[in-house]
Structure formats: C-alpha cells, structure tokens
C-alpha cells in the first residue's frame, strides 16, 4: 500500500489533542478566519461541490449539491443538523472524531453553516456516547470563549449557535427525518418525503442534515483545497454516468475477527483485503475469513472471494451489496455460522423497525421468526425461497416503505441466502432431515435486548 498520512485522525494519540490550543497549533481555525474574511457563502458551496465530497453518513450523496436544494433568499431561520447518532452496527468513526478532535468537527460545522446561511446548528448525539458529549461540550465552550461561535463570529457579521442534543437510543433516530422528529421532542418516526428536509425540516424550516465525518471533511477541504481532496480516492467511471467518483480520505471502522480492530484512515478505494491485512493484521487466530459486511450490517455481505473489491462508493454495489454505507467492515471467520449471522441481523432489524410501514414491520419480524425456526432445527428448504422473496419485496427500493431501514434489513438476507445457500441447505438437511413442516406453534417473538 502507498504510504498515507492520516489527516482526519491527525489528533489521535496527541496529548490534549482535543483542546483548542493543540488544534490551533496544528493550523486549526485559520481556514475559518480566511473564509469569513475573504469569501461569500456561495463560494464555500461551490468549493464543496467541486471537491466531489459525498456524505459520509451512509447514502453518499453529494454534500455541495444537497446544500443547493435549500430555497434561495429564504427569510430564515435555516438549520443545520449534524447527525452523530451513529447506530449502524460496527460503526464508530464519528465517536473517534468527536472525542479526539472535536474542534475539527466544530470548524466544519461553522463553515457549513456559513455556506448554507444556517444560524443554528444541532448536533444530534447518540445517547450511549457520554464521553463524546463531554468532549464536544467542552470544545463548544472553548469555541464560544474564543469567538469562533456566537454573535458576530470574528467580526464577520455571521452568527451561529450550536446546541448538543442527546439522542433517544434507537437506530431509527439516525434516519434524517426520524432524527428531526426526535429533535422536535417526538417519537423518531421517519417522515414521508417529499417534502425533503431542505424544504421543510426542523420546526418545518429549511434544514440540512450532514454526518460528523462529512463536517470534518469540509474543514480539511477548506484547509487544503479542492485539488488536494480530488487527488485522493477514485475518479468518476466514464462508463457509468451515475458514478460521480469517490474522492478524499475515509475513516474505515474494522472489527470482528481480525487481529487489530480499530478506526483507520485511508484513501477511498482501498480494497477490503488491504484493510484487513494491512491495517487489521489479518484474520484472527491464524484462521481464514469466510465473509465480511462491507459498510455496516445494512449493506449486505461479501464472500472472502470478493475481498479484492475496492471500498469506494461504487465498489460494494458491483458485488451485489447495497453500497459502501458507513465503511464499517466486520470480518466473519471460517468457524462462524452464516445462519447465526443472519439470525443476529434479522433480530437487530426486527427490534429497530419503527413499525409505521407494513412491509418493514411484518417483513423484519417474519424473517426473524423464520430464522429462529431454521436455527431450532425446524427449517424447510423452501424457507430459503420465502426469505429471498421477502428480501426482494420489502424496502424503499421496491417503493413500499417510508425510509431505508427496510432496504438495510433486506440486503443481508438476500446476500446471505444467495451467496451462502449451500450452508443454509446443509444446516436445514442436517437439523431437519425429514424436511417436514413442523406442526408445533412458533414461539412468541422474543426480541428484547437485541443489542
């Protein structure tokens, strides 16, 4: 692998790296000062748009383009919601940024608010992150005292307040409209779109929702420039008009059955194998890998033979996964049962479905019931086709649900059954040799404490 100097993670391991003095000694807040002095909001939007930055929260949508969806000349207020809910299994890159370099995130928030003309920013923080809360609040207090937040920032005439909001401890709170509902004090039930948040978001006002790592990337672009950002990553595929390229550094979370789990920074487009071997020290205990989830559990499953796939926004889709997602890789070794993996995945989504949409509510709980039956030695071979049918019909992509949770629930089912069908068939034949449908009732659903 070509040597690569981490920048998003520059402060990790630095004594007091989270403090304002340390951040400023690394050049922090100089880009903000220069921007407020010399640039207009539209210049910052143009800079981020031409950098090719795509949101790091999961969907990979162009950040600059999203900002242009805000209505022009709106009297305000306009809000920025920074998504720090980080509930996708295996994902912890936002936590590292908030705890080890909170000012990098805050500087990105001020720059993004200036660009979008937002005068209030909310950081919606995962409930289970108390240390991030303290680090962020400490940094926000320091930034106010130094004039980087509050009224008339650095004499520029631009004002911004940041509020930390503790989340409601559910996966669905990370979905942007669920987050907005929760921020407004309601149950985190995603809203039907349109209207999209850019038109009607928090308190029915124009709102941008962006991820924490996206904010850190905005800071880096302002500091190092568009050309630097575009020199890292994978350019657009000329044969695919829907691929705008995958630019910039990326934080990859690596966990599961590897020797050295952790959060690693690399150029977008590193292969899954490079990540596991170079950063992760290989599969643990000298074993071989069987599979990996490429970007959070909702992105599906890759086989070991697919490990040479680049982890850019387009790569995982080429091997039948949903996408790059949060770039959180979880490695599954050869001794782990894919039946157990899928049971665990179905348990998670059945627990986290908010229940508004029938295909999601019923689909996630029925897939769990089927997996429970298969694991209990009462499965039938035709259950595999039933599961596949479920996976192919529930979800936003078939057009039947309000949010993407159902897609995320469907992809591990589809990938596990198609890529590991032989293992499911062996399990069913071994544990239920007669292949008969069992007559005893399926036990009541037990999904308490799924995570």
Q: What is the largest CA-CA distance in the chain?
A: 79
Pick out residues in 198-227 that bind ligand FMN (CB under 6 A): 209-211, 214
Among residues 10, 99, 142, 175, which is the contact residue for ligand FMN, using CB under 6 A?
175
Is 190 a residue that touches ligand SF4 (CB under 6 A)?
Answer: yes
312 binds ligand FMN (CB under 6 A): no
By the 10 Å C-beta count (0-12 exposed, 13-18 middle, 19+ buried), 96 is classed as buried
Instruction: Indicate whether 296 belongs to the interface with ligand FMN (CB under 6 A).
Output: no
Task: Please say whether the dihedral angle defined by the alpha carbons of residues 394, 399, 401 and 406, taken in this order, is positive or negative.
Answer: positive
Q: Which residues contact 323 (CB under 8 A, 6 or more apart)?
A: 58, 59, 60, 295, 299, 313, 316, 317
CB nearer to ligand SF4: pick between 17 and 408:
408
Angle, nearest 10°, between helix axes 30-38 and 212-224? 70
Q: How many helices (H) and strands (E) does the chain have?
A: 17, 11
In whole angstroms, the minimum distance from the beta carbon of 286 to ligand SF4 comes to: 40
Q: Which residues, other chains included, contact 149 with Cβ-Cβ below 8 Å and sequence gap of 6+? A: 106, 110, 140, 143, 160, 161, 162
* Backbone angles phi and psi of 233, in degrees to 5: 105, -155
Residues 364-403 that bind ligand SF4 (CB under 6 A): 401-403
Q: Please report whether residue 86 would count as binding ligand FMN according to CB under 6 A.
A: yes
- 59 makes contact with ligand FMN (CB under 6 A): yes
Look at residue 61 and give the partner it binds from ligand SF4, ligand FMN, none, a contact being a CB closer than 5 to 8 Å depending on partner kind: ligand FMN
* Contacts with 239 (C-beta within 8 Å, 6 or more apart), sequence order: none
| Residue 354 interacting entry, from ligand SF4, ligand FMN, none, C-beta within 5 to 8 Å by type | ligand SF4
CB of 448 to ligand SF4, least distance (A): 18
Hey, which residues between 34 and 53 contact ligand SF4 (CB under 6 A)?
none
Q: In terms of CB distance, is 273 or 361 closer to ligand FMN?
A: 361
- 19, 97, 139, 172: residue in contact with ligand FMN (rule CB under 6 A): 172
Could you tell me the sign of the dihedral formed by the alpha carbons of 274, 246, 177, 183, in that order? positive
**Which of residues 400 and 431 has its CB atom nearest to ligand FMN in the complex?**
400
How far is CA 324 from its chain centroid?
Answer: 9
Residues 408-447 that bind ligand FMN (CB under 6 A): 408
The binding site for ligand SF4 (CB under 6 A) comprises: 172, 190, 353-357, 360-361, 401-403, 405-406
């Amino acid at each position: 692998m070509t040597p690569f100097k981490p920048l998003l993670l520059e402060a990790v391991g630095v004594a007091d790296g989270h403090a304002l003095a340390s951040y400023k000694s690394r050049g922090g807040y100089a880009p903000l000062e220069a921007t407020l002095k010399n640039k207009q909001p539209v210049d910052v939007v143009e800079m981020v748009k031409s950098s090719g930055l795509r949101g790091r929260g999961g969907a990979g949508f162009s950040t600059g383009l999203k900002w242009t969806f805000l209505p022009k000349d709106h009297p305000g207020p306009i809000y920025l919601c920074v998504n720090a809910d980080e509930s996708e299994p295996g994902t912890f890159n936002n936590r590292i940024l908030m705890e080890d370099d909170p000012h990098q995130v805050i500087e990105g928030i001020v720059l993004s608010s200036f660009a979008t003309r937002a005068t209030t920013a909310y950081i919606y923080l995962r409930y289970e992150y108390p240390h991030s809360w303290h680090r962020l609040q400490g940094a926000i207090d320091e930034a106010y005292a130094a004039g980087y937040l509050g009224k008339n920032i650095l004499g520029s005439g631009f004002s911004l307040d940041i509020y930390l909001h503790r989340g409601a401890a559910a996966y669905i709170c990370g979905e942007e409209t669920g987050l907005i509902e929760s921020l407004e004090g309601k149950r985190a039930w995603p809203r039907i779109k349109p209207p999209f948040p850019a038109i009607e978001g928090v308190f029915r006002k124009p709102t941008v929702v962006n991820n924490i790592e996206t904010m850190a990337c905005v800071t880096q672009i302002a500091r190092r420039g568009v050309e630097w950002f575009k020199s890292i990553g994978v350019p657009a595929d000329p044969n695919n008009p829907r691929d705008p390229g995958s630019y910039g550094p990326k934080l990859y979370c690596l966990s599961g059955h590897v020797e050295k789990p952790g959060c690693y920074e690399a150029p977008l487009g590193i292969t899954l194998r490079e990540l596991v071997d170079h950063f992760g020290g290989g599969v643990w205990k000298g074993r071989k890998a069987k599979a990996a989830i490429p970007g959070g559990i909702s992105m599906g499953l890759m086989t070991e033979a697919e490990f040479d796939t680049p982890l850019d926004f387009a790569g995982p889709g080429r091997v039948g996964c949903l996408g790059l997602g949060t770039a959180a890789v979880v490695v599954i070794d050869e001794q782990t049962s894919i039946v157990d993996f899928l049971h665990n995945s179905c348990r998670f989504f059945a627990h986290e479905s908010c229940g508004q949409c029938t295909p999601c509510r019923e689909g996630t709980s029925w897939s769990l019931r089927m997996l429970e039956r298969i694991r209990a030695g009462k499965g039938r071979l035709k259950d595999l086709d039933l599961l596949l049918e479920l996976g192919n019909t529930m979800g936003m992509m078939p057009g039947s649900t309000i949010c993407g949770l159902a897609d995320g629930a469907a992809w591990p089912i589809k990938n596990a059954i198609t890529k590991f069908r032989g293992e499911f068939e062996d399990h069913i034949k071994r544990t239920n040799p007669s292949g008969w449908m069992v007559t005893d009732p399926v036990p009541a659903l037990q999904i308490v404490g799924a995570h």
